[in-house]
Amino acid sequence: MIIKPIINNVSSATQPWWKVFYDFSPLVRSVDEGIRSSMTPFWADATELIIVGVLFLLFYAITGLFLVYAERKVCAFIQNRLGPNRIGPYGVFQTVADLIKLLFKELIPIKNADRFLFNMAPYIVIIVNFMVLGAIPFAKGLHAIDLNIGIFYIIAISSLNVIGAFLAGWASNNKYSLIGAMRSGAMMVSYELSLGLSLITMVILAGTMQLSEIVEAQRSGWFIFKGHIPAFIAFVVYLISGIAETNRGPFDLAEAESELAAGYHTEYSGIKFAFFYLSEFINMFIVASIAATIFFGGWMPLHIGNWDGFNRIMDIIPPFIWYLGKTFCIIYLIMLFKWTFPRLRIDQLLTLEWKYLLPVNLVNILIMALIVLLGWHF
């Protein structure tokens, strides 16, 4: 079976109270049993799919709005200014006001554009985001779908983002959009290699592609520490490649406002532009989530060897807090990159990938395989 249950049948009587309290499996199990006891199997499955879909829609919207606000505040902090401060306390409702404005803005038809592809492009990037989010474990028992090829699935699905960018640029009948789409395609195709190889490096260490098992393997220590120098190199390469994949500075050549207006989504307005805009921030969240899961143990607390007292204290912190804390620390690092380094030229960007990151990745995989073969990891 490719799809495995998200609920592990673990006896709660043998676990410390904090682990039982923070395990979402009993809650998920009770909801599932309650629905199935009152409905036929077909309608029970349909109801559960609707519930999961609504939860993901809410999560997508809230996370996207929060990250837009966070980026504005981080940018303001780095540039020594206040940022949003008018609508709501500390400007927290500014992004909500912007969303309402975009919802009511006119959808401007583009002359000679391919209407079908033009309208379909923003939905492709949104669908890709939802498909990847579904494979990420947020906490113990809080996992929409647990694939035994989870890493392979994420690499394969996330690469479809380039289709949305290509369609948006080509169908807009705009030279700036087309150039932005070509740049985006060149970056995504190039940096997909380094991103995938850095994840494969950690798969060699973990011995599995299933995300829940990768998290469980880090119970005694996070991979960023257990994997020695190759794990740290893989993390640095993954972070650089992930920033390039999400078209964020200093790799934002596809949306370079000083050259291409808004890049491949120049001609989009209203809610369709909001889809692209939110997609960029959710892509950043996804990149950070995968990094937190693969390199920093996901929802797993920080454990140090036989330090039982320290480990028990760390276990008291809810796993969802661990996951969010790690994820948002990496998001802050990504934001810091954007507002610190200047934009690269397209030739510099591709040179960085093909002449430096890719060879380093290939050598790093061999070193990690040697470490695992000789048993030198912790």
- pLDDT at 238 (0 to 100): 95
Q: pLDDT 10s digit of each residue in the chain, 378 long?
A: 333 333 343 334 444 444 544 777 788 888 888 888 888 888 888 998 899 889 999 999 899 999 999 999 999 998 888 888 888 888 889 988 988 888 888 887 787 888 888 889 889 989 999 999 989 988 887 888 888 898 999 999 988 888 888 888 888 888 888 888 888 888 888 888 899 999 999 999 998 999 989 998 888 888 998 888 999 999 999 999 999 888 887 887 766 666 666 677 788 888 888 888 888 899 999 999 999 999 998 888 888 777 888 888 888 888 888 999 999 999 999 999 888 888 888 888 889 999 999 999 999 999 999 988 888 766
State how far the Cα of 247 lies from the Cα of 253, in Å rounded to an integer.
7
β-pairing, 146-147 with 3-4? antiparallel
Q: State the greatest distance between any 2 C-alpha atoms of the chain, in Å, as a whole number.
A: 68
- pLDDT at 83 (0 to 100): 86
State how far the Cα of 75 lies from the Cα of 265, in Å rounded to an integer.
23
Q: CA 16 → CA 3, 39, 216, 316, distances in Å?
A: 29, 35, 17, 10
Structure token digits, residue 30: 């009770």
CB count within 10 Å of CB 316 equals 13
- pLDDT at 6 (0 to 100): 38
- pLDDT at 348 (0 to 100): 87
Domain ranges of the chain: 111-374
> CB under 8 Å, gap of 24 or more: what pairs does 127-132 form?
128/157, 128/158, 128/160, 128/161, 128/164, 129/60, 129/279, 129/282, 129/283, 129/286, 130/56, 130/60, 131/157, 132/157, 132/158, 132/286
CB 251 within 8 A of CB 195: no
Q: CA 88 → CA 82, 102, 176, 269, 279, distances in Å?
A: 14, 19, 37, 26, 25
Q: CA 307 → CA 173, 204, 303, distances in Å?
A: 62, 27, 8
pTM of the model: 0.87
- pLDDT at 109 (0 to 100): 78
Q: CA 142 → CA 24, 49, 55, 125, 290, distances in Å?
A: 6, 15, 12, 24, 15
DSSP code string of 339-374: TTSPPPPHHHHHHIIIIIIHHHHHHHHHHHHHHHHH
- pLDDT at 88 (0 to 100): 84
- pLDDT at 239 (0 to 100): 93
CB 137 within 8 A of CB 159: no
Cα dihedral 283, 224, 154, 272, rounded to 10, equals 0
State how far the Cα of 170 lies from the Cα of 113, in Å rounded to an integer.
9
- pLDDT at 257 (0 to 100): 64
Q: CA 22 → CA 51, 159, 216, 301, distances in Å?
A: 21, 34, 15, 12
Give me the amino acid identity at 291: A
